[in-house]
Structure 1
Amino acid sequence: MAATIPAISKLSTRIIRILGCNPGPMTLQGTNTYLIGTGKNRILIDTGDKDVNEYQQNLAKVVQSEQINIEHIVVTHWHHDHIGGVENIYGTIASKHPKVWKHKKHETDAPDNDVPESIPMCWLMDGQEIKVEGATVKVHHTPGHTTDHIVLTLLDENILFSGDCILGEGTAVFEDLYTYMISLQKILDLKPNSIYPGHGNIVEDPIPKIEYYIEHRKQREEQILEALRTNPDKQMTEMDLVRIIYTETPEHLWSAAAYNVNHHLIKLTKENIIKNVNINGENRWQYGSSFNCNL
């Protein structure tokens, strides 16, 4: 069982974690938000869900007791449990109107309007640094979970704030496996000393954790490829592959398994390892170089 995360934790002289008080199946014990710095002005990483009074009260308590100001709000990605609280914090708990930072979504996504128009947004760039007294964080664009997802390294301690790319327990979901795998390798190359995730407890030994995330996806991919290789003349749906691979998974979970298999199939198609065949409006896959045909 995972260790209980307190509502407020002073993790070091420059990091205070405030739990988002929004527990659930996808958020675990809740969204972790972090105040960074040692001086009067601080950086807040993520803001929890909108209108969670307990979280707002806890954040306000820290701001008052530490006698600090939130100068920057950095949002790791657009999901409501990370960006929702901006509206509550801006101009109230962060009374001096902080800069609100986020990476732009991909042009094919829904518009970047997750924050009210009355709150100006500042757009993050890969490699950008944000500084306050006692802390410098560097931005790394890590799409996959979402197209706008970023992680941050605290350069002063080589700590990685991983958002939803890597969790304190379990594995993460993703929108695009191809870019997610590239992002995991990018994080591995950063060689952080520890990971402070968006959900779950601190990862004190991060390299094996990152490698596990990569290997877990590679193993599933190899199972999919093996099923296609051993049936070279068949054009298979996601559910066909689920029936072959997920033999120990209860049938009521097969639809969720098919969702994950679909992400792997799209990635393998992008890499020109398998081919996508559209038969009467239904997508099927077959081992071999990619093409798309309508039959």
Structure 2
Amino acid sequence: MERISLSNSAFEGNNNTYLFNDGPETVLIDTGDWMATTREQLEAAFDERELEFSDIDRIFLTHWHGDHTGLAGELQAASGANVYAHAADAPLIEGDEDAWAELSDLQEQYFEQWGMPESKRDVLREVLAGGKPTGESPTVTAFEDGETFSVNGTDLEVVHTSGHAAGLCMFELTRDGRREVVSGDALLPVYTPNVGGADVRVERPLEKYLRALQGIVDADYDRAWPGHRDPIDDPVTRAQYIIDHHEERSWRVLDALDRKGPCDTWTVSDDLFGDLESIHILHGPGESYAHLEHVERAGTVVREGTEYRLADGVADELATIDADRWPLEYSRSH
């Protein structure tokens, strides 16, 4: 397996596509986005290896976001390759108009529920329209959690890691006796994947993502190959760091409600992240919503209409805890 880095203008850093070419098949995991520069970079990488797009036999996609699937349709058209993705994301990757309309309608419902200002909605609508992949969409063969595919003698096992996206999956493999995983956006080396906004179809997004992270910790992988940037040599430590990060963020959500009183998701987002532009207009309140929904189900927060407030007695309890030690002390007592 080889990692090919492809440019990406987004904040997560360069995209990775993974090439299997050590046997009779030529297989890719993810394709990068649909931009001309990405296509040129991938074509150059193929040229260096004396390959052509027509040589591709199969393509596996970690999830539906365009920076991971953008070239899938073109590559399938050039090669006849089978394209695989989780069943939850397959309709969006195939460009199903009903699936995209349902996603757009659901986003609009959340914009209203979150209290997003109309001016910000207008900006975000333009961003989302520009972020929808163009060009030919692939025909997708759907897979489910736990399925295994043999690629040139290496088994790839699908590990469903919903949270950032409904169909986000990793691919577990063993190389040279080491347990490794192609982690997509489930585990990134620098940024923490957005939950709540990146795919509003996901119910209980933070709960599901924390479960996925704990699965990475329990699996004790030797290395992770992420969807962006460099390989992760200590996936367990990185996954635990992100778990701790989300625990701290939940504290910041409770602290915001303690200081501001009952307020909507957009107000909490503004307290956490400040003024937002571009795609962050979606990610900020989405992340805030994921945490508010999570602590609401825990009974720490009560939702009344579009506003959230601390449950009775929580403010008094928080006042007795040193904020610097909150994540540890409060989690031990709940």
- Bucket of the pairwise TM-score, normalised by the shorter protein: 0.7 to 0.9
SS state of the match for residue 181, structure 2? Answer: strand
Which residue, out of 188, 198, 203, partners 1:167? 188
Q: Which residue of 2 aligns with 1:6?
A: none
Q: Which residue of 2 aligns with 1:190?
A: 219
Q: Which residue of 1 aligns with 2:6?
A: 20
Which residue, out of 284, 287, 292, partners 1:265? 292
Residue 239 and residue 122 in structure 1: after superposition, are their counterparts in 2 closer, same or farther (change >3 A)?
Answer: closer
C-alpha displacement at 1:67, in angstroms?
Answer: 11
C-alpha displacement at 1:110, in angstroms?
Answer: 7.3
Q: Which residue of 1 aligns with 2:82?
A: 99
Contact 1:46 1:83 in 2 (8 A): yes
CA distance in 2, matches of 1:118, 1:191: 36
Q: Which residue of 1 aligns with 2:316?
A: none
C-alpha displacement at 1:148, in angstroms?
Answer: 1.0
Residue 236 and residue 139 in structure 1: after superposition, are their counterparts in 2 closer, same or farther (change >3 A)?
Answer: same
Deviations 1:169-226 (A, max 9, x none): 2222123323222221122222110111100111112211111111000111123234
Amino acid at match of 1:98: A
C-alpha displacement at 1:131, in angstroms?
Answer: 0.4
Higher strand share: 1
C-alpha displacement at 1:42, in angstroms?
Answer: 3.3
C-alpha displacement at 1:81, in angstroms?
Answer: 0.9
1:47 aligns with 2:15: no
C-alpha displacement at 1:159, in angstroms?
Answer: 1.3
Taking only aligned residues, the RMSD between alpha carbons, in angstroms, comes to 3.1
Residue 195 and residue 221 in structure 1: after superposition, are their counterparts in 2 closer, same or farther (change >3 A)?
Answer: same
Q: TM-score, normalization: structure 2?
A: 0.68
Higher helix share: 2
Structure 2's unaligned 5+ residue stretches are 97-134, 197-204, 313-334
Amino acid at match of 2:179: N
Residue 70 and residue 240 in structure 1: after superposition, are their counterparts in 2 closer, same or farther (change >3 A)?
Answer: closer
Residue 65 and residue 262 in structure 1: after superposition, are their counterparts in 2 closer, same or farther (change >3 A)?
Answer: closer
Deviations 1:110-144 (A, max 9, x none): 75533888843111110111102231111011111
SS state of the match for residue 136, structure 1? Answer: strand
Residue 146 and residue 210 in structure 1: after superposition, are their counterparts in 2 closer, same or farther (change >3 A)?
Answer: same
- 5 Å-filtered alignment, 1:138-287, equals 138-156=157-175, 157-175=178-196, 176-228=205-257, 230=258, 234-238=261-265, 240-241=267-268, 246=272, 251-253=274-276, 257-278=284-305, 283-287=306-310
SS state of the match for residue 252, structure 1? Answer: coil
Deviations 1:24-75 (A, max 9, x none): 13341x2100012521213310011125332341243255259994322100
Structure 1's unaligned 5+ residue stretches are 1-14, 290-295
CA distance in 2, matches of 1:195, 1:118: 29
C-alpha displacement at 1:236, in angstroms?
Answer: 2.7
SS state of the match for residue 41, structure 1? Answer: coil
SS state of the match for residue 252, structure 2? Answer: helix
Residue 118 and residue 163 in structure 1: after superposition, are their counterparts in 2 closer, same or farther (change >3 A)?
Answer: closer
Deviations 1:50-104 (A, max 9, x none): 2533234124325525999432210000111111111221142xx3x22210002
Residue 66 and residue 56 in structure 1: after superposition, are their counterparts in 2 closer, same or farther (change >3 A)?
Answer: closer
1:70 aligns with 2:53: no
Q: Which residue of 1 aligns with 2:113?
A: none
Residue 162 and residue 205 in structure 1: after superposition, are their counterparts in 2 closer, same or farther (change >3 A)?
Answer: same
CA distance in 1, matches of 2:262, 2:51: 63
Count the aligned residue pairs: 258
- 5 Å-filtered alignment, 1:77-88, equals 77-88=63-74
Q: Which residue of 1 aligns with 2:331?
A: none
Q: TM-score, normalization: structure 1?
A: 0.76
CA distance in 1, matches of 2:149, 2:238: 27
Higher RCO structure, 1 or 2 (CA under 8 Å, sep 6+): 2
Residue 67 and residue 166 in structure 1: after superposition, are their counterparts in 2 closer, same or farther (change >3 A)?
Answer: closer
